[in-house]
Amino acid sequence: MLIAALDTSTLTLSCALCELGGDEVRLIAERTEDAPAKPGPQGPTGGHGGRLPGVLQELLLAAGRKLPDIEGYAIGLGPGSFTGLRIGLATWKGLAYANRRPIAGASSLAALALAAAPSADPKAVLVPILDARKGEVYAGFYRASGHELLSPEAALAPEALAARVAALAVEGARGVVFGQGRDAYRDALAASPPLEGAPRTPSAVAVARLCAAKLAGATYDPAHLFALEPHYIRKSEAEVKFPHGLGPGADRP
C-alpha cells in the first residue's frame, strides 16, 4: 500500500512516500525543507502553500509513480503552526477527496517522540517540544518504550515544563527534552536533560508509521475525511479576541 505522508506543523515541511506492508513501513522517497512563514520575494514559491502539492509530485516523479498510485494519506495534525497545519491538512484532504482515498492523522509531537525513541534509554520519558510562541511550548510526555502517552499534550511556559520534568525525576523517571522548542527557550530549559541525536521537527515518515494501522485495509470514508481537524491545543488569536464571532450581537473591540 503506497502512502503519502506529510507534516507541516513547523516551518520545516516534511513529505514522504512510504510502502505499507504488514506491520512494516518502508521509506521510498522523502523531502524535508525549511520554508519561510509567509511567501517572500520569490513569490508563490514561498511558504508551505507555495510548495504543496508540488513537492509530492516531485517525489512521485523521483520514485517513478503517479498520483493515482497513492492508496492512502497520512497527515500530522499538530500541535504547531496554525497556518501550517491548515495548509497541510487542506492539501491532503483535497487529494484524498479527489482521488477517493482513505486518510488518517496523528499527533506531530507523537511523531517527534517516535523518531527519537531509538536514541533514548527505554526507561526514559520522552518530552518532545515545539515553539508555540507567546512564551510557551507545545509539549508531550511519552514513554520511550511502548510509546505510551503519559498525560495530555499541552501548551506550557518553559518554566512550567522544566518543573514537570523535575517532578518526573523525583518520581524516579528520567525526562529528556528535545525538539525545536528547546532551541527557542534554551536558557529556561538548561536544567532539563537533553537527548543527543534527537530530531528537531516531526518527520513525515514517523507520521506514516503512526497512521499505518489506521490505513491498512481502510477504504475511502468521506465522513471521516470531513471530520478530520488540526489538533491546536489552545485557542487561535481570532478565538481569543472574538469568542462569539463577528456576527450580529458578537463582541467587538
- As a 3-state breakdown, the chain gives helix, strand, coil percent values, each rounded to 5, of 35, 25, 40
Instruction: Domains for the chain: give ranges and CATH numbers.
Output: 2-108+202-241 (3.30.420.40), 119-184 (3.30.420)
Residue 156 burial (CB count, 10 A): 19
Of residues 53, 1, 78, 65, the one with CA closest to residue 29? 65
Buried b (16+ CB within 10 A) or exposed e, 98-118: eeebbbbbbbbbbbbbbbbbe
**Sequence-ordered list of residues with C-beta below 8 angstroms from that of 143, at least 6 positions apart, any chain:** 125, 126, 150
Q: What is the pLDDT along the chain (253 residues), one digit of tens a residue?
A: 999 999 999 999 999 999 998 779 999 999 999 875 555 554 445 678 888 999 999 999 999 999 999 999 999 999 999 999 999 999 999 999 999 999 999 999 999 999 999 999 999 999 999 999 999 999 999 999 888 999 999 999 999 999 999 998 878 888 999 999 999 899 999 988 889 889 999 999 999 999 999 999 999 999 999 999 999 987 765 555 656 666 555 555 5
Paired sense of beta strands 175-178 and 125-133, if any: parallel
Q: Are 189 and 179 in contact (CB under 8 A)?
A: no
Cα gap 20→241, rounded to integer Å = 44
Query: Residue 243: exposed, middle, or buried by beta-carbon count in 10 A (0-12, 13-18, 19+)?
Result: exposed
Residue 166 burial (CB count, 10 A): 12
Cα gap 170→120, rounded to integer Å = 19
Query: Residue 222: exposed, middle, or buried by beta-carbon count in 10 A (0-12, 13-18, 19+)?
Result: exposed
- 172 by DSSP, 3-state: which? coil
In this structure, what C-alpha cell is assigned to residue 86?
491548515
